[in-house]
């Protein structure tokens, strides 16, 4: 076991599924270290999926997930696997079985989930970048809470072969980094895209998404919006939704639940695994999702609306999270309240299969706060180049 993992005091790395691999001697990522969320297969090692019963009932992986192999082939060195909330189904990162990784940039507060270990490891400088996954916000929210860069790519753009699924029509392979140059280099490898990035044509601000943010958080993001506007132009204020975003949240969560149950019904029924107090009720609810609740989701209409809104290389700005990271061990009503305000802003990209980047451009009460930008499907490299350009500007004022 390497020194970084052996001396990890943050609880970011898995000891029970530890693996390390040298990358190729040359490549665009040579010299960089990375970690992967413990939902990605690495040949010869079990994938834990955040749950001891999953670990116990599954064999070691026969081959390495293509997304991980691409990074190794590009020269990056894998130093370990990182903790995930069980079944990759939580926004807090508080795993009842393995604990909660420490968020070094917001002491005493959660790192966010479900890619909690990956975000915590990057924020603390333990690795140069880390791979997570994003179904309903599991890269974007931890990126905001931990004060790092995080991207949810266009759905289907990066292979999820060899990755434990949650809801396949929403699941994506995302990643975190501290440095915008590293962030973009990793993206170019995973996206298999070396073409020059397109330039954003105009800036839109989603007023209905901002309405779900805490008032102080929305105000703290104003200087960040100014930074983006300085590069793109004066913003246009719009409504992302054609109805309340709470309705869009339902269009997301019911299909997500149905897909999760379809993926794992056989295992849950056969093994009767022990789930933590947050995830257990979620799995039980998923088993009872009614077909009519799935059928009423207006996903294709929403995708068409967002396609029109983001035409000609527009970008849409919105908060990455309702506010700063909640305190660790917050009572369930506080966690549920954050989740109910986060889902309406996080569901937009998921429903429309869009790329979204979270930028660490603000702070509030000494804690990080992210601003997100959404682009049209396939415009992932536009967001990567924009993130680099914005990060080279003078720092935004913070509270």
How far is Cα 270 from Cα 340, in angstroms, rounded to an integer?
32
Segment (H or E) for 237? strand 236-238
Quote the crossing angle between the two packed helices 222-232 and 380-391, to the nearest 10°.
Answer: 110
Distance separating alpha carbons of residues 292 and 309, to the nearest angstrom: 28
> What pairs with residue 177 in β-bridges?
129, 149
Q: In what order do the strands lie in the sheet with 33-37?
A: 77-82, 33-37, 129-133, 173-177, 149-152, 356-364, 367-374, 314-319, 202-206, 236-238
Q: Which residues have a catalytic role annotated?
A: 37, 114, 138
Tell me which H or E stretch contains 281.
helix 279-286
Q: Copy the structure tokens of residue 324.
A: 């700063």
Residue 236, CA distances (Å) to 199, 229, 322 in order: 17, 10, 21
Q: Dig out the tokens for 1 from the structure.
A: 């076991």
Please report the DSSP string for 228-267 in residue order.
HHHHH-S-EEE-S-SS-HHHHHHHHHHHHHHHHHHHHHHH
Say how far apart CA 389 and CA 200 lie, in whole Å.
Answer: 12
Ramachandran region, residue 370 (left: φ > 0; alpha: ψ -120 to 50; beta: rest):
beta
Identify whether the C-beta of residue 384 lies closer than 8 Å to the C-beta of residue 186: no
CA distance 324 to 203: 24
Structure tokens at 253: 């969560």
Complete DSSP assignment for 294-326: HHT--HHHHHHHHHHHTGGGEEEEEESSSSSPP
């Amino acid at each position: 076991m390497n020194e970084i993992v052996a001396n990890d005091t943050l609880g970011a790395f898995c000891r029970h599924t530890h693996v390390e691999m040298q990358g190729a001697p040359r490549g665009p990522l040579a010299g960089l270290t990375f970690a992967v969320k413990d939902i990605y297969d690495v040949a010869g090692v079990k994938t834990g999926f955040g749950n001891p019963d999953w670990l116990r009932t599954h064999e070691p992986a026969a081959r390495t997930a293509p997304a991980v192999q691409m990074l190794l082939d590009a020269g990056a060195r894998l130093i370990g696997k990182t903790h995930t909330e069980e079944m990759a189904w939580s926004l807090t990162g508080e795993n009842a079985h393995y604990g909660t990784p420490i968020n070094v940039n917001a002491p005493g507060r959660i790192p966010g989930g479900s890619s909690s270990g990956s975000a915590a490891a990057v924020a603390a400088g333990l690795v140069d970048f880390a791979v997570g996954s994003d179904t309903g916000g599991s890269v974007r929210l931890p990126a905001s809470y931990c004060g790092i860069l995080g991207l949810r790519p266009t759905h289907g753009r990066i292979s999820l072969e060899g990755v434990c699924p949650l809801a396949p029509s929403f699941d994506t392979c995302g990643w975190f980094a501290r440095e915008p140059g590293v962030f973009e280099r990793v993206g170019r490898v995973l996206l298999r895209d070396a073409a020059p990035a397109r330039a954003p044509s105009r800036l839109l601000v989603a007023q209905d998404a901002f309405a779900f943010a805490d008032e102080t958080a929305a105000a703290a993001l104003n200087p960040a919006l100014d930074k983006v506007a300085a590069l793109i132009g004066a913003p246009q204020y719009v409504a992302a939704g054609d109805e309340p975003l709470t309705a869009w949240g339902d269009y997301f969560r019911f299909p997500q639940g149905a897909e999760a149950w379809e993926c794992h019904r056989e295992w849950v029924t056969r093994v009767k695994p022990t789930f933590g107090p947050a995830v257990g009720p979620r799995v039980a609810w998923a088993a009872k999702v009614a077909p009519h609740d799935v059928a009423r989701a207006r996903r294709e209409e929403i995708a068409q609306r967002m396609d029109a809104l983001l035409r000609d290389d527009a970008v849409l700005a919105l908060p990455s999270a309702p506010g700063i990271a909640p305190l660790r061990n917050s009572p369930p009503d506080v966690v549920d309240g954050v989740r109910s305000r986060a889902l309406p802003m996080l569901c937009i990209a998921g429903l429309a299969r869009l790329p979204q980047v979270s930028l660490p451009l603000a702070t509030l009460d000494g804690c990080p706060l992210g601003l997100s930008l959404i682009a049209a499907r396939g415009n992932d490299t536009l967001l990567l180049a924009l993130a680099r350009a914005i990060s080279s500007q003078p720092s935004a004022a913070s509270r």
